[in-house]
Structure 1
Amino acid sequence: MSFNFFGCRKMAEAAAKSVLGTISRGHLECPICCCRFADPKILDCLHNFCLNCLLELISRQQPKADEITCPVCRRVTAVPDTGLQGLPKCFFLSNLVDEFNKQERLLGDGPTDAPTCEECDEGLEAISKCLDCCKLICTKCLEAHERLKSMRHHRIIGKEDHEFAEALIGPRKKGNLKCNKHHNQDICLYCETCKTLACAACAALDHRGAEHEYIVVADAIRLYRQDVGEILQRFEQNREEFKVADDSLSHARNRLRIKVARTCKDVTTKEEEEISKIRNKSRLLRDKVTQIGEARERKFEEVQKSNCDKMKRAEQIVATVNDLMQQADDFELLDLKPKVMHNLEFQDELDFEQAQHELSFIGVKCQDVVADTDIGEVLQKENWQLKVEFGETGQEDGTFLCAAGVACLSNGDIAVTDMEKSKLMVFTSTGEYKKNVGGEQLNNPGFVAVTTDGLLLVADKNYVKVLDSSLSVIRQFATSPDDADDKTDLSDITVDKENRIAVADSKRKIISLHHLDGSLIRTIPNDMFGGGLAIGIRERLVFTNFYESKLICTTYTGDEVFNVDTLLDGEPACPWGVCCDDAGDIFVNVGSERFDSCEVHHYSPAGVFIGRVARGLHSPVSLTFSQNGDLVVADGVSVKIFQRV
C-alpha cells in the first residue's frame, strides 16, 4: 500500500484552515464591524472593540462625548482625557490576531504581498530562499546557484516550506514590555497607589513620593491573582444562594398553580349545587381567581427572571475574568486590574430575591348565593380555623381513649385508629360515627394511609394489612424476616402517588419501601427516625425525631436533603405526626414533652418554617389532608378538622 504524503498534508492544512476560520469568527472579530480586531481597546465592562469602530460609535452618541455606551451590554465607560486612544489596549488580543495572521500566511491562506528577489535588481518574484546566503531568490538566481560551482551546494528551500513563510513574516516579538514614557526601560514595577505599571525611571522620577507604594511585577501579579481567586471562590456561595432562591420560587409557583386549580374546583362544586342561579357569577369568580393567579405568576416569573439575569450577568463577568486571567500576560493583567476588580464588585450587589410564600396561596370562601350576592370570596392569604371537632373520651363506639392514626377515604369518610381500644373506627366527614373494624381482622391497628385507588393500609403489629372499600382485609405482608418479628415496631406508614408504600420501623431503625403487593423495593437505614413519616415531592421521605426535636428529609436512597430543629416559641419542641399537601408543603404536630401546649406548624418542601396552622391542641399524634384540602388531626381524645379561611 502506498502512502500519499502530500495528500495527507493537504488534508491537514484544510483542517487547520477550518479551525482557524472558526476561531477567527468566534473570538477574533469585533462585534461592531464583524472583522478581525484592529488596535483593540477594552471598555470598563471588559468587552473589546476596534479603535476605529469606537470612534465611529461615539460620533453617533453625541452630545455625550465624555462617555461611551457598550453596544453589547449597554454599560457606560468614561472617555479618558486623551480620548478613546487613551483606553487600555488589549495586548493579548492584538498579539493573538498577529499570531493568527501569521499562521494563516503560513498555510497560504492569508493576504500577503509577493516577495521580490534579493539577489538581483530585476524585481522578479522570489520563489525560493537560500539558507546559506540568507536571501530570497527568483527563478534566474536559482539557476545561477545551481550553475555556479561556489554555490552549487547551497541549501535551497521552496515557497511551500515553512521556513520560507517564516522569512516573509519574521519572528514573533519577544522580550519584556517597554515603558511608554521611557522607551528604553523595561516595565518592572507596579504602583499600587496609581494603579499603573512603571519602569525604574518612573519609580525614581514620577513615583518617588512617600504616598507611592510600588512592588515588583512578579509580586503584584501574585497578589492580584490571589485576590481574584478569593473573590471568585466567594462567587460559589452566590451560586448556592441563587439555587436556594430559585428552588423556593419554583416551588411557590407550582404551589400557586395547584392551589388555583383546587380553588377553581371548589368554586365549580359550589356552582353545581346552585347551577341555575349562579353559573354567570361562578365564571366571574373563576376569572378573578385566575387573574390573581396569573398576576402572581407573573410576579414570581419576574423575580425568577431577575435572579436569573443577575446570575447570567455574574456568569458572564466571571467567564470574561477567567478567560482574561488565563490568556493575558502579567503586564496586561496588572494594567487591567482596576477594571477587573471593579467588575468583580458585582458580588457586593448580587442579592437574590426569595419567594414571597404568602403569594403562593389562593383559595375561596364560598357562601350561599341569595339575590345578586357573589358566589364566594377569594382568599388571598392563608389562614386556618377549626371547622369540625368530634369525639369524646369513653369506651363506647365513636369515643376515644387514644386516637392515633387518621386517614381520609375516597368516599369522604374518615378512618381513625384507637391504640387503647385496638380498633379502627369510621366517621363521616362531619364526625358522625358509622362503624368499627377490629377483632379477627385487626389485632392492634396503629397508623393508616390510603392509596390512590382507595385501598386502606393499616400498620397492624408486625404486618401491613390492605383493606378494600368495604373495610375487609384482602391481603397482608410483613416488613421484616420472620426471625425479626420480636424486634419490629411499625411506627408509621405512608404511600406515594405511584402506590409505593413506605413503612417506618422504630426498633430496627429503618424505613422500608414496598410495592402494593408487599414486595420489598429497598430498605433505608436511618438512626434519626423516631416519630411520624410522610412522602413529599420528588421521591422524598419526610420524618420526625421526637426525642431530638428534628424534622428530617431524605431521598428514597437515604441521602439527606435537610435536617432542621423544630421549635415552639423559640424553644426545642417535640414533633410527632407529619404529612404533606398536594404541593409538597410539610405540616407537623409539635409540642412539649408533657403535651400541654401543642401546635401544627407549616414548613416549605426545603424545610423552611412558614408559620403556625393551629394552636391549643391536646396531644396530636397524626394528621392528614382531606380531598377538599382540609387538615384532619387525630388529637388524642378527639379529631379536629381545620379549614382555610
Structure 2
Amino acid sequence: MATGGITVESFLGKISRDHLECAVCADNFKNPKVLDCLHTFCLKCLREMRIRQDPENKKLICPICRKETHLEKIEIDDLPHNFTLDALVDELYVHQKLLGTTPSRVTCQSCEEEDQTAVSRCMDCDHFLCQDCHRAHGRLAALRSHTTYTLDQFRSGEIVYKSKLREHIPKCQKHLDQSLSIYCNTCEQMTCTTCSVLNHGQHALVGIPEAYDSFKQQVTDLVSKVKNNIKELQDAKDTANMLQKKLDTSFAETKKKISQKADDVVAKIKEEQQKLTQETEKIYKERSETINTSAAQNSNEADHSEQKLADVCSLMAETNRYEVLDLKQKVLFNLRKLTEKTTTVAPEPLSMFDYKEEEDSFGKLVLKDQTNIVPMPRGPLLNQSTTTKDKQLLEILKHSSVSVKKGQWLLKTELPNKFSNANCVGVFSNNKIVALDNGNNRLATFFPLRSSARQFQAIDNVHLDGLTVNRDNKLIALQSPFVKVYGDDLCVKFTPGNGSNAKPVGIAVSKDNIIAVSFEDREEISLHKLDGTFIKLLTAPDVGRYLTFYNNQVIYTTSSSSSFNCLLSIDCSTGTRVLGVCFVDDDSDINPTDVCCDLDGTFYVSWKGYTGEIRHYRYKSDGKTLECNTVIRGCGSARNILITPGGELVVAAGNTVKIYHRVETDD
C-alpha cells in the first residue's frame, strides 16, 4: 500500500527513527528510563554507559546534553519508566506486522498449539487469536464480554490498535494490590490509600486528577515565562546585530576619511597613515569580537531554551498524568532554570568611533566610549630634517611591532618537503632529533637549528613501525613483531607481549628504562626491561599508536576507532586507571593523536584535522579538573609530538617536521 511514492513501511520506519529509537544503540527503545534532564534511553544502554563513565560515581552524564543525573539514593533500575514510549514501540511493532507492504504472518498468542495463524485480536486479553481461540471467546461465558476485532479490521483502518501500556496505572510498591490514587503535596509523591493513612495522615492530600490539573497549571505558567525569556534573548541578539551593522558603517566611514587624508599627504609620511589604519582595524576587531560574542551567547541561550521547552511540551502532551506527576520535580527544575537565563548586551558606544584631523599632526582616533585617543607624532612633519624624521619613523615602528607574551609558543624552524609521511620522532640528549618517514621508508636526523647548521642526514630503506630514545641515547625501534634496542654497537632484539601473535603498534620508554609496547587489537600494553625481560601486561581500553610515560604512568589518547576522544593513564604498578578525561569537541573532523608531558606535570596533546593544533592541559586548583588552552594552531597534520631537553616542542606533521620554542620573557 503506497501513496505518492511513500509506503506504509517507509512511513512507519521514519516514525521509528525520528521518535522511538534510542540515541545510544540506535534501536527501538527497550525498557526506556528518563534522566533528570528529561532525555530517555534504554535501561541496558544506561547500565553500559555508567560502566564506561565510572561505576563508582554517583552521577550519570547524559550523552546528549552532558547534564548530570544524581544516583545517591537510587540505582539506574529505579529511574522513572517511560510507559508512553513503551506503548508507542509496541504499537509500531503491531502496525508494522499488520500494515506493511508484505504483512508478516501473525501467530496465535493464546493457545498452546504452535504456529497457528492469528485471525483476530482480543483487546481485553491483549492477545492475537487463532480461529479456534476466536470461537472460544464466543462460547465461554467468562470470555464472551471481551472485545475482539479481526485482523482485516486493523488492516483496513477501521480499528486503530492502541497498546494497553497507555492505560498503565502504577501500583504501590508496598501494597501491590492497590493503585497509586492519591497525591501528597507535602512529600510531592503519589501514594495508595493505605499508605496515605499510615504515612501521610497530617499531610496535604489530593486526588490524582486534581494534582495533575494543578501541576499542569504550574507548567503553563512557567512555559509562559520561558517564552518571554526567549523573546528577550532574541531581542538582545537583534540589538547586537544592529550594533554590528552600525559598527561596520562607522568602520567603513572612518577608513574612508583616513584614506582621503592620507592621499593628500606626501609619500614620506605613508608609515604614519598605515599605523593609524592598523590601529583602527585593531579596535574594530576587538569591538566586533565583543559584539559578536554577545550575539552568539544570546543565540545559543535562545536555541537551548527552545529545545528544552520543546522537550517539556512534548512530555506533557504525550505522557499520562501518573507518569508526568512522577517527573514533576524534574520538569519544574528544568523550566525554572530556563527562566533564569539572562541576556548579554554589548554597550552601544562600542559601535562608534571616529577620526579627527589636527593642524600640527596627521590626526587622531576619537573613541566614543572613552576619552582615549591614538595620536600621531606632532610637529611640522614636512619641514623636519632627514635625521629627525628617520628617528621619528623608527619610534613609530617600534611601538607598532607585534607583542609576544611569556609562555607563548612560536615556530622556530621546519623541514618542509623533506618527508612523505613523518609520523614518529625521538630526541637525543644533545637535542639532535631523529624522525621516522614511513612514506619514504627513511630515517632522518637533524638539529633544531636554522637550515645552514641543521646537519640533515637520511638513511633509506629503513622499515620501522615506531621509535623512541631513552635518557642513555639508546634508539629503541619497533619493527613488528619485534622490538630492537640499539646502543654501544650492540642490538638487543625481543618479541613484546606474553606469547601472543598480536601486532604491536606503539612504543614508549620511561626515564627508568621501562619499555611500553601497545597492542591496539587486544587493548593491552606490555611492559619490558631494556634487555627484553617481560614485566607485566596492562589492560588499556582503546589504546592506539601514541603513548608516553610520566611518574610511573603510561598516558595515551584513545584510538581513532573509539566512540569517544579520551586521554587515559594507567598506573604501571597497580594496573589501575589514574586519569580518564573525555574530550568534548563540536568538530567531529578532528581528533587527538599524541600526548607528551612537560616537566611541570602538564600535558600537551596534538589534534589532527584541517590545519592541526596543539592543546595544553593542566589541573585546576582543585587538583581534579583539567583546563584546556590551544597554544599552537596551523601545525599541519599533527601526529607524534615531544619536548626536547632544550625545552622545544617537536611536531611530526606528515610532509614536514616543525620545531617550536617557548618565549621565556615578555617581548
TM-score (norm 2): 0.47
| Larger CA Rg, structure 1 vs 2 | 1
TM-score (norm 1): 0.49
